[in-house]
Amino acid sequence: MKNTFVALIVAAMLAASPVAAQSPETVLVNGKVVTVDSQFSIRQAIAIRDGKITVTGSTADVQKLAGPATRVIDLQGRTVIPGLIDSHLHAIRAALSFSTEVNWIGAPSLTDALGRIRDAARTMKPGAWLIVAGGWNVQQFKENRRPTQAELVAVAPNNPVYVQLGYGWAMLTPLASKALNINSEADLPSGGRFEKDAGGKLTGAVTGGQGAIIALFDKLPRPGFDDQVEGTTRFFRELNRLAVTGVVDPGGNNLTPDDYQALFKVWRDGRMTVRVAYSLCGQTPGSELEELKSWTALLPTGFGDQMLRFNGLGERITAAMNNNDRPTESDKDRYYQIVKWAAERGMPITMHWGRDGSVDQLLTIFERVNREVPIGNLRWSIAHLNDASVQSLQRMKALGIGWTVQDAMYFGGEQFVQQSGPEAARRVPPVNTAAKIGVTVGAGTDAHRVASYNPFTALQWFIDGKTVAGVAIRGPEETPTRADALRFYTMGSAWFSHDEQTRGSLEVGKLADLAVLSGDYLTVPVDQIGRIESLLTMVAGKIVYAEGPYK
């Protein structure tokens, strides 16, 4: 009786103090909150409760909601943006080795890059492999060249060193070749060759097609499971440092079911600081359909939660259609069988395609499927396709297919100009045309083998069209505004995993994924956008990264 009475009083007190019950957990005030809502509204302040945004408005409006337990963050005029979402980042693969690889991303000179190897030789276990798996290009170095074998040996005389450039070249030190038992060209994966200099002398590097380099990389020792888990949490924090709170992961080469286990552990342990929507790639040439059927039998589309979600198939559906401009009828038929099966199950598809000249082959298959099973609401997408024609974009629009665009021209622009001429390069990639036609554009990087994962590098490139060497190749017709580029990286990218209703903008009811920036993205000189970082990153209102004034 007495207990009931007390309970009633407590209930009455709670009911009588609705303000306390509703006061936000966190408010951010005195800032420039770039909401990326449909009007691109700017606000001063934002309130967060239960992981979601409850109010946006003026500092005065938001401040008065604060209760005694509310955490008040003074932005001191700083800019807040929605957490960035990379719609095509090979994050799962990059994460596995993030704690055991050496990273050349953003190194301004070869001297700096070699210094990173020297540092790693000191900090890693004695004799450990030092592996640079990609993400760099000679144009980023002021020396404008690749490292020599002698330079690598000089900075790490007691470690095997392996440095890969894109998917066509890898330098090994003698200790590395010895450890892999490579004594002659016959020991290389098929298609691999020893590189020779102008005088016919071996340089120590291996060249060859993508297959040869992937197979060579596969010979390297893999990090153990604990290292993979450590690498995953560290890679996600690194993305948080750069304001990234979400990725759409397109699988990729060399990725087996085992490679997902570190990610799954981090998710089970509640340690995810980046939301991941992942798709699966066919891995065994010829039996992709059976393989994908078996892998997804108990994996319905959309399965998962807001931190980790299954998002269909791609970027490689079959080996035969991967980077193949001239697939045979039977290649195309097998591909059709798989994507039709996926459409029947409501799966998103994301498909890697390089050149517009051959994309008709892919679009014809998608159109055929669409006549039998409508795909308009399934969020299918094409990745890359940097020279997309108006006609291809119109066909994509008619099918409801989105386009994930990466800053490939930041590293590869000069090569594109060489192959296709400066006039063609002026419209690459035609994001303004795509937006005008109504194709959803998501932004991203394609990191980490072929590019840097830094979204601010990509945002700067969207806006100035300049390569890493500073050469402007894109024209103003296809240069988006800062607002549009940010839209691509937030609302645009969110679309590809059906998430534009829950994140991608800072609006009431949406998840409180945001970043407080070190510089004002909307007003700093364009050439400084690439240097912006986050000072404070939140995922669902929880601080996942804090630096400088917020440390």
Least distance between Zn ion and beta carbon 362 (Å): 13
Q: Is the dihedral of CA 111, 117, 118, 120 positive or negative?
A: positive
Contacts of 18 (CB under 8 A, 6+ apart): none
Q: What is the DSSP string of 372-418?
A: HS--TTS--EEEE-TT--HHHHHHHHHHT-EEEEE-HHHHHHHHHHH
Cβ proximity to Zn ion, 70 vs 361, nearer residue: 361
Least distance between Zn ion and beta carbon 351 (Å): 9
Cβ atoms within 10 Å of 526's Cβ, excluding its own: 12
User: According to the binding rule CB under 5 A, does residue 449 interact with Zn ion?
Assistant: no
Residue indicated by tokens 């192959």: 419
From 104-112, 315-323, 330-338, 457-465, give the range in contact with Zn ion by CB under 5 A. Answer: 315-323
Q: Which of 211, 177, 208 is nearest to 193 (CA)?
A: 208
Cβ proximity to Zn ion, 146 vs 352, nearer residue: 352
* 193-196 sheet: strands from edge to edge: 130-132, 161-165, 169-172, 202-207, 193-196
Cβ proximity to Zn ion, 129 vs 167, nearer residue: 167
From 72-80, 293-301, 348-356, 386-394, give the range in contact with Zn ion by CB under 5 A. Answer: 348-356
Residue type, 295: W
Cβ proximity to Zn ion, 352 vs 487, nearer residue: 352
Cβ proximity to Zn ion, 141 vs 489, nearer residue: 489
Cβ proximity to Zn ion, 151 vs 315, nearer residue: 315
Give the number of residues in contact with Zn ion, rule: CB under 5 A.
2
CA distance linking residue 507 with residue 38, whole number of Å:
10
CA distance linking residue 308 with residue 391, whole number of Å:
35
CA distance linking residue 57 with residue 410, whole number of Å:
37
From 105-113, 314-322, 485-493, 539-547, give the range in contact with Zn ion by CB under 5 A. Answer: 314-322
CA distance linking residue 75 with residue 78, whole number of Å:
5
From 59-67, 189-197, 344-352, 430-438, give the range in contact with Zn ion by CB under 5 A. Answer: 344-352
End-to-end CA distance of the chain: give it in Å, rounded: 51
Cβ proximity to Zn ion, 451 vs 486, nearer residue: 451
Query: Which one of 43, 49, 93, 352 is in contact with Zn ion (CB under 5 A)?
Result: 352
Least distance between Zn ion and beta carbon 374 (Å): 26
From 52-60, 350-358, 368-376, 537-545, give the range in contact with Zn ion by CB under 5 A. Answer: 350-358
* Parallel, antiparallel or unpaired: strands 130-132 and 542-546: unpaired
Cβ proximity to Zn ion, 445 vs 460, nearer residue: 445
Least distance between Zn ion and beta carbon 90 (Å): 8
Least distance between Zn ion and beta carbon 189 (Å): 21
What are the strands, taking DSSP E only, across 136-201?
A: 161-165, 169-172, 193-196
Cβ proximity to Zn ion, 182 vs 458, nearer residue: 458
Cβ proximity to Zn ion, 248 vs 529, nearer residue: 248
Site for Zn ion in 530-549 (CB under 5 A): none
Least distance between Zn ion and beta carbon 104 (Å): 20
Contacts of 143 (CB under 8 A, 6+ apart): 109, 110, 111
Site for Zn ion in 57-96 (CB under 5 A): none
Least distance between Zn ion and beta carbon 191 (Å): 20
Q: Bin 548: left if φ > 0, else alpha if -120 < ψ < 50, else beta.
A: left
DSSP 511: B
Least distance between Zn ion and beta carbon 384 (Å): 6
CA distance linking residue 117 with residue 238, whole number of Å:
19
From 42-50, 92-100, 346-354, 510-518, give the range in contact with Zn ion by CB under 5 A. Answer: 346-354
Least distance between Zn ion and beta carbon 439 (Å): 18
From 127-135, 309-317, 405-413, 487-495, give the range in contact with Zn ion by CB under 5 A. Answer: 309-317
DSSP 125: P
Least distance between Zn ion and beta carbon 405 (Å): 12
Cβ proximity to Zn ion, 309 vs 352, nearer residue: 352
CA distance linking residue 404 with residue 6, whole number of Å:
59
Least distance between Zn ion and beta carbon 89 (Å): 11
Q: Which residue is nearest to Zn ion (CB)?
A: 352
| Contact positions vs Zn ion (CB under 5 A) | 315, 352
